[in-house]
Chain A
Amino acid sequence: MDLLEYQGKQLFAKHGVPVPDGRPAKSVDEAVQAAEAVGYPNVIKAQVQVGGRGKAGGIKLANDTAQAREHAGAILGMAIKGHTVHELWVEAASDIDEEYYAAFVFDRSAKKPMAMLSRMGGMDVEAIVETDPGAMCKVHVDPLIGFQGFHARRLAYGAGIATDVIRPVGALLAKLYETFVSEDAMLVEVNPLLVTGDRKVLALDAKVTLDDSALYRHPKSAELQGGGSEDPQEQLARERGLTYVKLDGNVGILGNGAGLVMSTLDVVAQVGGKPANFLDAGGGSKAEAITQAVDVILSDEKVTAVLFNIFGGITRCDEVAKGLIEAFDQISPQVPFVVRLDGTNDKEGRVLLAEAELPNVYTEATMLGAAKKVVKLAAGAVEAKPEVEQPSQNVGPSAPQG
């Protein structure tokens, strides 16, 4: 889960990482109250999960109440790269002497946390590395011993930061590592890490990604909305515990197992189709889960045909068939379905489908064949929406359900 800036800063503050004094706000009045509380001048910042907020006019300096009110009104509701601003963060303005960059990331290759410090900051990390590779120092941390003083010294001397702030930057890094571990983060990034005119260090921005698998240990974080997707299908799927990713095509996809679903998307694309979604029904899905999944897929109005690609291991194909039949009972889908069932109880599943005589449901023996079929049907539906489908592969006559 990606957190918004202010949510990250609140976690930082909890662990003693120095941040500017600030308050969240969801309305103009709240923003004005927040501005009065932190004092002037202050900065009104749009809380959205995209870069380039400043350029888009989503970060403004307020010198008095009138300006705070004006800026808050302008920024709330603004769209930044497709993200509507619903929340603001109002914080005390800081004077900037130097801008550094600091982060802890999950290094999957080394299988250790990696600390990063650069004497250049305030631009994105790729740009830092391009502009001045020598300015970036990276050090791995053994998770069994944690972040030690020597790690901080290696980073500080390696990055060549100003010698008078080596100690406070080291202290900030230690607190940041504590945040990274105690909050089960996959990423904590401070950019810029600010050195103020009176040589204090502050985390001026916060980018935090939490490990979804560890949210059970962090009930407060689990309640946060985060800066994630506002997509209605993705929200619906999340509520139902389904692994769903919205894409922009018209072929709805349901499969079991992440790898097989990814592979299905690729094969559909390869034969000329455009997947509408990724949906992993997971291992051991029961009929009810399948029915709910169909509902989520069809809630995307762009979907003109749906492909079921199931290779049952834990998942039983007869349960999948039952779920599809139930979905037809409940929501009478208006688009064609192509179903490929292999694996555990595949024969039973195919028999159930044949007996149910669902309108507009076609079975295919192979993944490739099923992909070709669904792409053809999806395209046909866009062009003509024929009343009667080709009967050749149909498991039953296209009769109304009884």
Chain B
Amino acid sequence: MSVLVGEDTRLCVSGITGREGSFHAMNNRAYGTQVVSGVTPGKGGQDVEGVPVFNTFHDAVEGTGANTAMVFVPPRFAADSILEAEDAGIELIIAITEGIPAHDELKVYNHLQRGSARLVGPNCPGILSPEKANVGIIPASFFNAGNVGVVSRSGTLTYQIGNELARRGFGNSSIVGIGGDPVPGSSFIDIIELFEADSETELIVLSGEIGGNAEEEAAEYIAEHVTKPVVAYIAGFTAPPGKTMGHAGAIVSGSSGTATAKAEALESKGVRVGRTPTEVAGIAAEALDAYSSASAQ
């Protein structure tokens, strides 16, 4: 098993005729993902290397049975595209686009809460289930299938941590990037819940960063609902207050959102926090050993 994307994924790419959209759609297909269609208004009837393009998501769903959307359009069109995918009945929408206005994200988030569709992102690297499917921009060649589920607010930091884990021989069930924006469609908790239920995942790595209180909320949830070991990493211990560190959501405002507060919240609930990506991999190895021997008894 894996979470969210896998062999059953039938992907429709919004913005498939764009430079980045087509490049990554083809990369995802080459990895084995079923890329069944694309959407670009005005280019319906064309194809991108054999993938049919439709004018609307509704046509794409009807014509190709797409169940997953990847949104790659520029920020000013992205909220519209996400809402369109939901309206067309898509169950999982993965938004890669960076720089969507926060008020647009608010409207999208609150609208999706009323229905059943799930949004991952925006401003995220996507989801990789190694050896099954890759939806997004994660460089899949660095990751093997395995028992570690990773959920992260940052793209390249995910690769760094994945790489440190791989050096120790770990593979991944799924790697989920939830994105660095102030209003992510899916939270750490949403993804951790999936990993807890996933039979293949034996260890969960949470990679957070400064800003907001999603890590603190995850700590509470883990304490009450998660039986599998969780190892965490927080980026931004040395970030100065009041400065946005690259991600729109990564800012220490006043005393809230600091890395220290997040690490303390997690550690107080028994989640071990590595101070460097290298240390995270070390702790993961110990935690998994302990978990395996406990499960064996």
Whether, in the assembled complex, A356 has its beta carbon less than 8 Å from a beta carbon of chain B, the answer is no
Give A259-274 interface residues, CB cut-off 8 Å to B.
Answer: 259-263, 265-267, 269-270
Given A109-B212, A217-B101, A259-B152, A266–B139 Cβ distance below 8 Å? Answer: no
Give 14 new A-B contacts, CB below 8 A, not counting A257-B157, A258-B154, A270-B276. Answer: A106-B106, A108-B214, A112-B106, A143-B106, A213-B99, A213-B100, A214-B104, A245-B243, A259-B153, A259-B180, A259-B207, A259-B250, A278-B245, A311-B156
Given A213-B75, A311-B159, A367–B154 Cβ distance below 8 Å? Answer: no
**What size tier do the contact residues of chain B reach?**
35 or more
The docked-state distance in angstroms from the alpha carbon of A245 to that of B239 is 10
Minimal beta-carbon separation of A258 from chain B (angstroms)? 3
Whether, in the assembled complex, B43 has its beta carbon less than 8 Å from a beta carbon of chain A, the answer is no
The docked-state distance in angstroms from the alpha carbon of A258 to that of B209 is 10
Minimal beta-carbon separation of A268 from chain B (angstroms)? 8
Whether, in the assembled complex, B146 has its beta carbon less than 8 Å from a beta carbon of chain A, the answer is no
Contacts of A367 in B (CB 8 A): 160, 276-278
* Contact A262–B210 (Cβ < 8 Å): yes
Give B91-134 interface residues, CB cut-off 8 Å to A.
Answer: 99-104, 106-107, 109-111, 125
* Highest count of chain A CB atoms <10 Å: which of B159, B213, B247: B159
Contacts of A262 in B (CB 8 A): 154, 157, 209-210, 235-236, 239, 245-246, 250
Minimal beta-carbon separation of A311 from chain B (angstroms)? 5
Q: Which residue of B lies closest to A234 (CB)?
A: B243
Q: Which residue of B lies closest to A243 (CB)?
A: B246
Whether, in the assembled complex, B165 has its beta carbon less than 8 Å from a beta carbon of chain A, the answer is no
* Contact B107–A266 (Cβ < 8 Å): no
* Highest count of chain A CB atoms <10 Å: which of B125, B214, B276: B276
* Contact B101–A283 (Cβ < 8 Å): no
The docked-state distance in angstroms from the alpha carbon of A280 to that of B243 is 14
Main secondary structure of the interface of A (DSSP, over half): mixed
* Contact A259–B156 (Cβ < 8 Å): yes
Whether, in the assembled complex, A186 has its beta carbon less than 8 Å from a beta carbon of chain B, the answer is yes
Minimal beta-carbon separation of A365 from chain B (angstroms)? 11
Give B149-208 interface residues, CB cut-off 8 Å to A.
Answer: 152-160, 163, 180, 182-183, 207
* Contact B156–A213 (Cβ < 8 Å): no
- State the interface size on chain A (CB cutoff 8 A): 52
* Contact B245–A261 (Cβ < 8 Å): yes
Whether, in the assembled complex, A144 has its beta carbon less than 8 Å from a beta carbon of chain B, the answer is yes
Whether, in the assembled complex, B90 has its beta carbon less than 8 Å from a beta carbon of chain A, the answer is no
Minimal beta-carbon separation of A54 from chain B (angstroms)? 21
The docked-state distance in angstroms from the alpha carbon of A243 to that of B76 is 20
* Contact B157–A109 (Cβ < 8 Å): no
* Contact B125–A313 (Cβ < 8 Å): yes
Whether, in the assembled complex, A312 has its beta carbon less than 8 Å from a beta carbon of chain B, the answer is yes
Minimal beta-carbon separation of A211 from chain B (angstroms)? 5
* Contact A275–B238 (Cβ < 8 Å): yes
Whether, in the assembled complex, A329 has its beta carbon less than 8 Å from a beta carbon of chain B, the answer is no
- 15 pairs across A/B with beta carbons < 8 Å? A126-B254, A143-B106, A143-B107, A184-B102, A214-B104, A247-B238, A255-B156, A257-B155, A257-B157, A258-B209, A270-B276, A278-B246, A280-B246, A313-B125, A343-B139
The docked-state distance in angstroms from the alpha carbon of A387 to that of B156 is 36
* Contact A184–B103 (Cβ < 8 Å): yes
Whether, in the assembled complex, B222 has its beta carbon less than 8 Å from a beta carbon of chain A, the answer is no
* Contact A144–B183 (Cβ < 8 Å): no
Contacts of B231 in A (CB 8 A): none
* Contact A106–B102 (Cβ < 8 Å): yes
